[in-house]
Every structure is written in C-alpha cells, then in structure tokens.
Structure 1
Amino acid sequence: MSTDVTIPSVPRITTQQSANRSSVIRDNVWRAAVLLALVLLWALLSSMSDLVASPTDSLNALAERFADGSIYRHLNATLQAVAIGFLIAAAIGFPLGYAIGRSKFLGAVFDPIVAGAFAIPRVIFFPILLQIFGVGVGAQSAMAALAAVFPIMVSTTAGVRAINPLLPKLARSLSLSPLQTVTKIYVPAMAPSLMVGIRIGFSIAFINVIIAEFFAARAGLGLLALRAYGMLDLPTMYGIIVLLAAIALAGNLALWAVERRLGNKL
C-alpha cells in the first residue's frame, strides 16, 4: 500500500507583491505619523492660547453630544444633503459629460461655457436656491448638486475623449448594441477619469453643504459649529470640526480605495 503524502502547494509571494506590501505598510506608517504630528501641534497651540480648545476637551465635548443624542439630527441633515446633492450631480454630470465628449458639435458649443461656469463661485447662487427650496435640506442639496456637477461632467468628458479610437471600431465589429458599447467598452476605459470626478465631486459637495449650513439651515453640522462659536463653546466647535474632517477623510479614503482597486483590475 502506498504511503505517499500529498503536500498542498503553498502560494509563493513574488518580489513585486512583497514590495507592494512593504510600500503599503510604509505609506500607512507615514500617514499615522502625519496625523500624530497634527494632533501634537494642536495640543501645543491649545496650551499657548485660550482661543484653541485642547484635543481632549474637544473630543469630550463631541462625545457628550453623541451621548445626549443632540448631534444626530444635525449629522443626519448634513449627510442627507451631501448624499442627495452628490447623486443629483452624478445623474446630471455623467450623461452630459458623455454627450459632450462624444459629440464634436456639443464640445465646440459647451466647452467654453462649462469652463467659464466652472470658475463662478457657486455660493453666489445660494440666495436663489433659498427662494426656490426654502431653508432646509432642499437648498443645501441643490447647492451641493450645483457645485459637484461640474467636476463630474468635466472628468467624464475628458475620459470619453481619452478613449482609444480603436475601441469603438471593436464594438462595431462585435455588433454590440449602443448600451453594450457604453457598459462594456466605454465605462471600463473611462473608469480612472470617472473615479477622479467622483472623488472631487464628493469633496466639493461636502464643502458646499457646510458653507450653505453656515448661511441658512434648520439643522446641520455647519449650523451646530456656528452656534457653538456664537456661544463661545470652543470645545464643541472644535469637536464638530474634527467630526467634519473625519467624515470627509473617510469618504475620500473609501473612494480612493475603490479607485485603486479598479485601477488594478483594468
């Protein structure tokens, strides 16, 4: 009777994989070091001035807001406005950017218009949005959509124009339908540009929601921070600022991770 034992093969870690893993670890260490340096600088400034709340006091004040539940209404209003505004911007920006990128006529007509409109501060339209939607999430969402639609549209247009001219010919040779051409040819080729537009669009939508909440809002983290400033409640104000920074950072890191994963697959 045979006594041979089959030893399962162990996947080998290539030099490139090892280098990539080391690079990721090194980058994460440096990111943590930068964050630690910022916290230490913050603590130093708070010890030198009464106008800067310490990190400990700020985080304690933020924790109290979560404990008593007073922050959830404002957090929900901000996140809701960002999500609605960003989705509206994506629903408008992607098809418009695709159409402008595909058509020479539309490109000739709209390229200078979009470039000029991109330079206009969107905040000047907020009084008009207040007249239309009233004070509340509607106006903040419209503000976010108006601001985020341009980077999404511009990045989509650039992505369409950067597509290899052979790819549409390949789609025709394979007798793909227009929908199949978009989903199987254009979208994978445009993915890097689309993700850049999505990340920038999210950041701009988030920023403009907070700005809108400073001007007029019934609820929102921007309004809560402004009220804390008016009451000289510096720990709460700095705590809200930390929360806003954490939300923006988490959202961008998540989108950046998706972008890198798509880049590795393409």
Structure 2
Amino acid sequence: MALTEGRRASLARLAIVLALVALWELLSRTGAVNPRLLPSASEAFTTLAELLQRPKLRGDLLVTGSEVAVAFLLAVPAGAAIGLLIAESRYWGEVLRPLIFFLFSIPKSIFLPMFILAFGIGYAQKVGFGFFSTVFIVAMSTAAAVESVKPDHVTVARSFGATRGQIVSRIYLPSMMPVLLEALRIAMIFNFTGVMLAEMYASREGLGHAISNWGENFQMRQLFAGVVLVSLIAILFNEAVRWAERRCEHWRT
C-alpha cells in the first residue's frame, strides 16, 4: 500500500529527529565532545525518566502548564478582539496597527523587570508576561485573517439580513480558521517561551526555574533532560495543531 504524502512527510521528520539523536549519542560516546559538557542522549533520556518520577518535577510541570494555559486562554480572545477591531474599523486600524507593530518589534525580555515590579515574583507575573508575549501576534494574525476573507461572502450575507454576530460566526470564523490555527501554533510558541523566560528570570517554581537551577549548578544531565522534555512538549502541541488544521482543511475552499 502506497504511503500518502502526509505520511511520507511524517516519516521523514521522524527520521531526521532519530538521526539527530544518534549524532548526539555518537558525539558524546566517542569523546568528540566532552561528555561532561554534552552527556549522551541515552543518559539524558534515562535522567528524564528518573526526574519524571519525582513529585517536585511533576509539580513544576503542573505549575508551568497552568501558567501557559491561563496566559493563552486570556491572550487569544483579547488578541482576536483587537485584530478584529483593527481589520473592521479603518480609524482604529490606523490608530492601533502602528502601536502593535512597534510593541511587537521590541524584545519582550526588556519588559520582564516591569512585570516583576508590578506583580511580584509569583503566578500573576508569569501569566501576565506570557499574555504580553502572545497577545500581539494573535492580534496581527487575526487582522490578517479577517482581511483574507472574501468580501463577496460578507456582502451576500449582509444582503440576506445577517447580523454582525452571524457574519462573524458563519463567515469570518470558518474562513479564518485555517489561518488562525497556523497563527495559534506560532502564538503558543511565544506564550510558552514567555512563561519559561519569566520562570528562569525570577521564580520559585516551574519547569523554567528547574532548568535554570540545573544550568547554574552545572548539572548537565538534568539540564539536557529538561531540554528534551521541553522539546517533547513543543512537538506534541505542534502535532495536535497539525491534526486540527487537517480537520479544518475543507474550510479553505
């Protein structure tokens, strides 16, 4: 049975990942790179399995997961509303679009001390910084997605007496969904990175805090195990969004 193009692409991605892991193992085992600086892949995966059995790491994962989820759930509707306002209103588009592009172009890390001063070192600071890191990309992506909707569809809906809410739910949302899903994947990267950065900079708990501690204490096996864990989380989310994109593919037509 012939493989579909999607399955071939998935197998190719898997092969590349396995090749990189094998290269990692080879570099460490042969001494091409100092094993103290680069533990082998097998050691990193073994250490990760051991760490996942510890209640402390599982608690850190729950903390980081809840921070990422709350920040994302707050940033997506807020960013979508701003993006819709920009795309639908010429006046607000001219007012807000330059400001959003200006704020988005500034490295977010320089604002982190302000969040610490405003919220202290705690849950609100990390959620707030994750929200701040995410809302601008959602707003810009939503505005672009709204502007990509065919005007004829909106005109026909209005001619049949559709309300603004019906136009948004039955015209904009289905047409925008494939574009929005791709944008949400990128937004989650910004969100996850923002939360991890906040945890590494100033935090008492969370996965970023644990990874920062391992790095500061030169616990290289634990550090690389943490990097592997973060990579696996990112891959799982990315594949989940890919699955959702395939389910919404028919809306592109």
- TM-score category of the 2 structures, normalised to the smaller one: over 0.9
**Corresponding residue number in structure 2 for 1:197:** 183
How many aligned residue pairs are there?
248
Tell me how large the CA RMSD over aligned residues is.
1.5
Kindly provide the amino acid, as one letter, of the partner of residue 185 in structure 2: R
Alignment partner for residue 222 of structure 1, among 198, 208, 218?
208
Pairs within 5 Å for 1:1-266: 21-47=3-29, 48=31, 49-50=34-35, 51-266=37-252
Query: Which runs of 4 or more aligned residues in structure 1 lie more than 3 Å from their structure 2 counterparts after TM superposition?
Result: none
TM-superposed CA distance for 1:237, in Å, is 0.9
C-alpha distance in structure 2 between counterparts of 1:140 and 1:73, whole Å: 16
Structure 2: runs of 5+ lacking an equivalent? none
TM-superposed CA distance for 1:265, in Å, is 4.4
State the TM-score, normalizing by the size of structure 1. Answer: 0.89
TM-superposed CA distance for 1:230, in Å, is 2.4
Conservation of the 8 A alpha-carbon contact between 1:123 and 1:143: no
TM-superposed CA distance for 1:45, in Å, is 2.5
Structure 2 counterpart SS, 1:71: helix
C-alpha distance in structure 1 between counterparts of 2:218 and 2:100, whole Å: 42
Per-residue CA deviation, residues 114-157 of structure 1 (Å, 9 max, x unaligned), is 11111011111111111222112211111111011111100100
Answer with 246-255 or 62-71: which moved more.
62-71
Conservation of the 8 A alpha-carbon contact between 2:68 and 2:191: yes
C-alpha distance in structure 1 between counterparts of 2:82 and 2:179, whole Å: 15
Conservation of the 8 A alpha-carbon contact between 1:80 and 1:137: no
Conservation of the 8 A alpha-carbon contact between 1:81 and 1:209: yes
**Corresponding residue number in structure 2 for 1:3:** none
C-alpha distance in structure 1 between counterparts of 2:199 and 2:157, whole Å: 47
Structure 1 counterpart SS, 2:56: coil
Larger Rg: 1
Conservation of the 8 A alpha-carbon contact between 1:86 and 1:202: yes
C-alpha distance in structure 1 between counterparts of 2:107 and 2:134, whole Å: 12
TM-superposed CA distance for 1:74, in Å, is 0.8
Per-residue CA deviation, residues 169-225 of structure 1 (Å, 9 max, x unaligned), is 111122112211110011111112211221111011011111111110111111111
C-alpha distance in structure 2 between counterparts of 1:218 and 1:91, whole Å: 29
C-alpha distance in structure 1 between counterparts of 2:54 and 2:194, whole Å: 28
Kindly provide the amino acid, as one letter, of the partner of residue 252 in structure 1: N
Conservation of the 8 A alpha-carbon contact between 1:203 and 1:252: no
Conservation of the 8 A alpha-carbon contact between 2:129 and 2:194: yes
C-alpha distance in structure 1 between counterparts of 2:68 and 2:54, whole Å: 24
**What percentage of residue pairs aligned between the two structures are identical?**
32
Kindly provide the amino acid, as one letter, of the partner of residue 43 in structure 1: E
Per-residue CA deviation, residues 13-55 of structure 1 (Å, 9 max, x unaligned), is xxxxx87x52122112211110111101211222221210111
C-alpha distance in structure 2 between counterparts of 1:116 and 1:134, whole Å: 26
